[in-house]
A and B are shown apart, each in its own frame.
Chain A
Amino acid sequence: MFGSILRRILIFAITIFVASLVIFLLLDILPGDPARFILGINADIEAVAALREQMGLNLPIWERFWHWFFGLLRADLGISVTQNVPVAELIGERLFVSLPLAFFALILAIIIGIPIGIIAAQNRAKFIDSFLMILAQIGIAIPNFWFGMLLVLLFSVKLSLLPTGDFISWNEDFAAALRSLILPSIALALPQAAILARIMRTSLVDISNADFIRTARAKGLTKKQAIWRHGVRNAILPIMTILGLQFAFLIAGTVIVENVFYLPGLGKLIFIAISERDLILVRGAIIILILIVSFIMMLVDIAYQLIDPRLRLRG
């Protein structure tokens, strides 16, 4: 088992290297001269040339890649060309919004989604099962940004209970910062909860037909007891994979919801950096995301081995 964990860590390292190479090359072939973009259409040719030189854009591509990659190993992501601030600092600031937001949304999704899935599975093929699954289907189908807009119309515009977004930094006003994350967390959690509910139900239903449940029943447990004691633990396995993916999505894939609530999250940072051709910032932000996502996936895999005895033996 130790060996398999070591192997998993090696895969993680290789993933990071390959990803950084691919990101670098892909971003380099994007059309558009960053220097020209920064200075605008009426800028002087000389000024653009001066800025290109300053930004080091005239060096050969391999030199630039190694420079960047070795910087990365020293946790130095470079300095944003448009904002003139270290990239690590920019990303750090955004993580203070994106991580809590992703965390709240995921907790909400688990609190809502998992019980619904279990209730539906226990009442399989009954009215309540169909009802909950239709609800889940709707939850998946509703785009979260649209749901967010509805929440804003109700809670901010009509009831004036919560701000439309307007995130204030944590140290300035903790309560206000928390308040402004409530609606976006709900908006993000709904579709995730719906997905969790469906997967939990399917997974439990599959398991209730499995041999070990039949064995447990043969020992004299009722169907409910058998599912609770033996089924849920097994049904959690696919849920964990999904949770890992959802967390990754919630950290970076939320740019539209961030826009609706004008939150200074990581998704918006990358979106704007791309449109402004701040390649150093884009690269830094994407590699950090890949690090986070690969790391979470690695943790999920390792946790899998701890939970599932079969994988442990094979490893």
Chain B
Amino acid sequence: MFSLVFGKFFLLFRNLILSISVIFLLFTASALAQQSEIKLGMVLEPPHLDPTAGAAAAIDEITYLNIFEGLTKIDANGAVLPSLATSWEISDDNLTYIFKLKEGVKFHDGSKFDAEDVVFTFERAMAEDSVNAQKGIFSIIEEVRAIDDMSVAITLKNPSGDFLFNIGRGDAVIVAKESADNNKVNPIGTGPFKFVRWDRGSRVILEAYENYKGDAVSLKRAEFVFISDPNTAISAMLAGDLDGFPMFPAPESLEIFANDDRFKVVVGTTEGETILATNNKRAPFNDIRVRQAIAHAIDRKAIIDGAMFGYGTPIGSHFAPHHPYYVDKVDIYPFDLEKARQLLAEAGYPNGFKATIKLPPPSYARRGGQIIASQLREIGIELELINVEWAQWLDEVFSKKDYDLTIVSHVEPFDIGIYANPDYYFQFDNEDFQALMQQLNRTTNDDARRALAIYAQDFLARHAVNGYLFQLAKTGVWRANIEGMWANAPVEGNDLSTIRFVD
């Protein structure tokens, strides 16, 4: 009796094992054949999928250039290229832009793309009740007018040198009147990929759009899978459940992949200037000598090695090193403890002082904060470390300006203009700089803009408004046979149209 039951059980068990292995074989076989499908990992899940109604980077990382396109687009190196506008003319006073639109483009729901959609998109973003996170891009627009079906005139209130760049960003993608309200859950754009499904909490699935007007794409299907735990990200890559992780969350583990032939590790740059932001209105930081002392006491290399495992480029001002206007200002206040102590003494703090530093969750802040605290202790500044979560940081530091120091990465491209706003949380109120930024905004000649931007970088570095630490690196891992993935992140996005598998 017993052996009979056991025998049956054994048979059952054996069959189970067999069927599992068969299923497994089927899975691997199909995985090998599908070279036109890609699964990419992302750390954060977007709250919704409408890039014109939120600041979350994850929205752009899925939708920008894939589902949605703007009049212009930003390529992997940060250059402005035509997109839904095939060409444009700028009036002599630099105020009016006339865009010629791409012919024959259809939205994913089949509706036709024309000048009406462009006018609708811009007027929606400019409206009083607009919740576009970058209203600033649109506030300088005086009027948007359809000249005919396929051309649009945009008139600005004053000349703007980075207008063409700004309208290429995710916040300015073109949406259709019929579908705009639903874009948060069912995004409908003109891009090479259309939205298929969002399994909340796990993935977003896109599929190649058959009527796309533009260069042919190699991928047929793409999945963005949300994995927040760094250890899980490593396992998922090693187990082959993912094809790539464009922004890998664990720089300390990149060695695992660098030494594995199946993968490649690609280190690029982002727009993230990571700074020791300083409350310029609060004593003793309102004294430039104190800020200079801090600048002299910071050892950037130690911070990059300790907090970022060596990934990151030192910066001396608020400017991205890959930008064509960049100049290296790291040596304006070189690491020099003697000089730092002397400046502190001149400012009236020969024995240093006590202050607080509020640290948001990213590891560059939490780990970087500990290193900076130990570096500033060398010159007598005792920092109390206060960990805050993002919502708290936004409330206390950003809105109420209740802080001494904090560490944060400013990820907007070409955002040097924030220093001209005296109400911005650094509270840097300097009329010369404000005038300089006004002049820069009105200048459209490239050489003149370069000269002004260089002057501005020098200005901020010399005033030591903030401690300038490093440019955040973009560390990605993907299969060795994938090509065309963005190495840098000049804007937030993962352009799927250029990605392909090679043999």
Residues of A within 8 A of B (CB): 30-34, 36-44, 46-47, 50-51, 53-54, 82-85, 90, 93-94, 97, 149, 152-153, 156-157, 160-161, 163-169, 175, 259-265, 268-269, 272, 275-278
Contacts and interface: CB of A to CB of B under 8 A. Distances in A.
B396 A31 contact: yes
A83 B395 contact: no
A30 B139 CA distance: 33
Given A156-B239, A157-B238, A276-B47, A40 B55 contact: yes
Interface stretch (B75-83, B89-97, B196-204): B196-204
Interface residues on B, range: 35 or more
A40 B412 CA distance: 11
B235 A153 contact: yes
B54 A38 contact: yes
Nearest to A161: B24
Q: Which of B225, B229, B398 has the most CB of A within 10 A?
A: B229
B133 A259 contact: no
A264 B200 contact: yes
Given A36-B395, A40-B55, A149-B231, 9 more contacts: A37-B390, A38-B54, A47-B130, A51-B131, A82-B48, A85-B185, A160-B240, A161-B20, A166-B236
B391 A30 contact: yes
B18 interface: no
Nearest to A166: B241
Contact of B235 (A32, A36, A164): A164
Contacts, number: 160
Given A32-B395, A42-B415, A269-B201, A50 B236 contact: no
Interface in B191-243: 199-202, 225-229, 231-232, 235-236, 238-241
A169 B239 contact: no
Contact of A164 (B20, B236, B412, B418): B236
Contact of B131 (A39, A152, A157, A168): A39
B146 to A, nearest CB: 26
A37 B238 CA distance: 35
Contacts of A42: 55, 133-134, 136, 412, 415, 418
Interface in B130-150: 130-136, 139
A39 B239 contact: no
Nearest to A81: B47
A276 B225 CA distance: 19
A160 B239 contact: yes
Contact of A83 (B130, B184, B226): B184
B498 interface: no
B394 A33 contact: yes
A93 B200 contact: yes
29 contacts: A31-B391, A36-B394, A38-B54, A38-B131, A40-B54, A42-B134, A46-B128, A46-B135, A50-B128, A54-B131, A83-B200, A93-B200, A93-B201, A94-B200, A152-B235, A152-B239, A153-B235, A157-B238, A160-B28, A161-B24, A166-B225, A166-B236, A166-B241, A167-B199, A259-B228, A259-B232, A263-B201, A264-B199, A269-B201
A8 B396 CA distance: 45
Nearest to B138: A44
Contacts of A268: 201
Nearest to B127: A50
B15 interface: no
B45 interface: yes
Contacts of A149: 231-232, 235
Contacts of B415: 42
B287 interface: no
Contacts of B481: none
Contacts of B374: none
Q: Which of A42, A43, A160 has the most CB of B within 10 A?
A: A42
Contacts of A263: 201-202
B483 interface: no
Contact of A275 (B24, B28, B128, B390): B390
A297 to B, nearest CB: 27
Contacts of B55: 38-43
Given A38-B55, A54-B129, A260-B232, A47 B239 contact: no
A131 B144 CA distance: 79
Contacts of A175: 23
B131 A41 contact: no
A276 B389 CA distance: 10
B126 to A, nearest CB: 11
Nearest to A85: B185
B416 interface: no
B363 interface: no
A276 B54 CA distance: 12
Contact of B226 (A36, A163, A262): A262
B392 interface: yes
B391 A32 contact: yes
The 6 closest A-B pairs by CB, nearest first: A264-B201, A40-B55, A32-B391, A82-B47, A44-B135, A156-B239
A278 B45 CA distance: 14
Contacts of B288: none
Contacts of A157: 235, 238-239
A82 B56 CA distance: 10
Q: Which of A37, A165, A262 has the most CB of B within 10 A?
A: A262
B232 A50 contact: no
B241 A163 contact: yes
B47 A164 contact: no
Interface in B373-401: 389-392, 394-396, 398-399
Contacts of B28: 160
Contacts of A262: 202, 225-229, 232, 236
A277 B394 CA distance: 11
A165 B200 contact: no
Contacts of B201: 93-94, 97, 263-265, 268-269
B317 to A, nearest CB: 19
Contacts of B136: 42, 44
Given A39-B55, A42-B412, A268-B201, A277 B132 contact: no
A187 B389 CA distance: 29
A37 to B, nearest CB: 5
Contacts of B398: 36, 41
Given A36-B399, A160-B240, A278 B47 contact: yes
A46 B392 CA distance: 21
Contacts of B226: 262
